Amino acid sequence: MASLAAALKDRGFVVTGSDQNMYPPMSTFLEQRQIDTFQGFSETHLAHSPDLVIIGNAMSRGNPEVEAVLERKLRYSSLPEVLREFFLRGKRCLVVAGTHGKTTTTSLLTWVFENAGLNPGFLIGGISENLGQGARFTESEWFILEGDEYDTAFFDKRSKFLHYLPEVAILNNLEFDHADIFENLAAIQTSFRRLTLLVPRNGLVLANGDDANLSAFLPSLPCPLARFGLGPANTVLASSLFLGPDHSEFSVDQFRYRIGLVGEFNVRNALAVVGCARHCGLSPAQIQSGFDTFRGIKRRMEVRGTVHGVTVIDDFGHHPTAMRETLRALRLKYPGRRLWAVFEPRSNTTRRNVFQCELASALAAADAIVVSAVARADQLPADQRLDPGRLMADLNTAGKTGVYLPDVEVILDHLARNVAPGDVIAIFSNGGFGGIHQRLLSRLS
């Protein structure tokens, strides 16, 4: 939403916005773009009768601005609808979908196209270090989008990516997530299946061929299909993997690719980019040139600082698989060092007990674990809520040191007392987590 606000301002619109809680990097981004924002919601924010109100998918009935829009019959729309009708029609849209790795893959694909001089438009749910912003609208024929499966708005419960007019749809992987809107895995598969039905006959579905949850509906597609992965049945096949502490390498059709990202999961992300970029006419050399200069994404294994030999990592991980893969990658990047995982159960899925056992297994990949209070726990029935006590018991049974510390200040005290030079602290949250990253660095210094 912040990225769209900036892009609309660049086109000459006067843009204002409201949100309950704004935190870096998006709050800083909005300030830099001189976009006026209101903390909290009030119908007075609409006193100027805007020509169009774009309502985010976190808004619901009862919100004072939503109620004012409906009562005054102001023109309103969802973010995906605005994109489709004002910016995407007539473009060649490349949509990156999947439970994990969407932001990294979309950012990498966009940079490969940008580095090749194709000047793509893009919309990404994060800030790429190369691109400096999450959205840009250009005159190029190419538009690259992070395809979110979450619902569009309170008045449109379809997944956002169904609005994005895909010519190429990348399906990175598929797992159960978003327990607040999807009943089960089958419901998410149905939404992904609907995305593939929108790909035209001159387009392509590029799917992770190693993912069993995707393979269930791939054989019956009405458009061309290519599979990427590490298994022999894939069309875009990675071979001769090298997973190093500061880069990864793999080969596709006798060409050797090197990417400055760590871990097998990032190899798969890069492989999806190779398959898509080659389909769109880029050469292996052009793709590698983009890989050579890619600098990563904020809040994806982002090093926030090192103090007295203690390294603090910020990661957006909020799903057991994502956290497990990040911890595995950090093992490669920092071999032999003690690895901490500090986790805030904040997403609508991890606040619930649907991943009670899986979270314990994922966090056990660290040497020491700290779990904070379940965000907005009072909004969930007790029988649906993540049980931190049981999580600690499962971790301790697995031989891991796990502590439940509900308050950020108490977590900071615990870390300051117990970390040692050489330790790596991975902090997982899809929110601001009380500014814990900078506060921890200050405390350690």
Q: What is the pLDDT of residue 349?
A: 82
Q: What is the DSSP string of 50-82?
A: -S-EEPPTT--TT-HHHHHHHHHT--EE-HHHH
**Which residue, among 298, 293, 256, 301, has the nearest Cα to 274 in the 3D structure?**
256
Report the b/e string of 10-21 with b at 16+ CB within 10 A.
eeeeebebbbee
Residues in Cβ contact with 65 at an 8 Å cutoff, skipping those fewer than 6 apart? 18, 41, 42, 43, 45, 46, 53, 59
* CATH class of the domain at 80-293: alpha beta
| Domains of the chain, residue spans | 2-77, 80-293, 302-444
Rounded CA separation 80/59 (Å)? 15
The pLDDT value given to residue 10: 85
Same fold, 80-293 and 302-444: no
Q: Name the β-bridge partners of 146.
A: 96
d(C-alpha 185, C-alpha 192), whole Å:
11
Q: What is the pLDDT of residue 383?
A: 86
User: 328, exposed or middle or buried, with CB in 10 Å at 0-12, 13-18, 19+?
Assistant: middle
By CB atoms closer than 10 A (0-12, 13-18, 19+), residue 403 is middle
pLDDT at 162: 96
Given this model, what pLDDT does residue 351 score?
87
pLDDT-flagged residues of the chain (< 70): none
Residues 6+ apart with CB under 8 A from 224: 201, 203, 204, 205
Query: In degrees rounded to 5, what are phi and psi of residue 225?
Result: -135, 135
**Quick count: other Cβ atoms within 10 Å of Cβ 292?**
11
- Per-residue pLDDT at 431: 83
Report pLDDT digits (tens) over 168-183: 999 998 988 877 778 8
Name residue, tokens 């995982």: 341
CATH of 2-77, one of 3.40.50.300, 1.20.1540.10, 3.40.50.720, 2.60.40.10: 3.40.50.720
pLDDT reported for residue 64:
97
Phi (first) and psi of residue 54, to 5 degrees: -95, 120
Q: Rounded CA gap, 205 and 234, in Å? A: 13
pLDDT reported for residue 65: 97
Identify which of 330, 427, 428, 373 has the alpha carbon closest to the alpha carbon of residue 441. Answer: 427
CB 176 within 8 A of CB 188: yes
Long-range pairs for 48-53: beta carbons < 8 A, 24 or more residues apart:
49/74, 50/16, 50/74, 51/75, 52/76, 52/77, 52/82, 53/77
Task: Name the CATH superfamily for 302-444.
Answer: Mur ligase, C-terminal domain (3.90.190.20)
Structure token pair of residue 310: 């203690």
Provide the terminal-to-terminal Cα distance of the chain, rounded to the nearest Å: 35
CA atoms within a 13 Å half-sphere pointing along the CA-CB vector of 279: 25
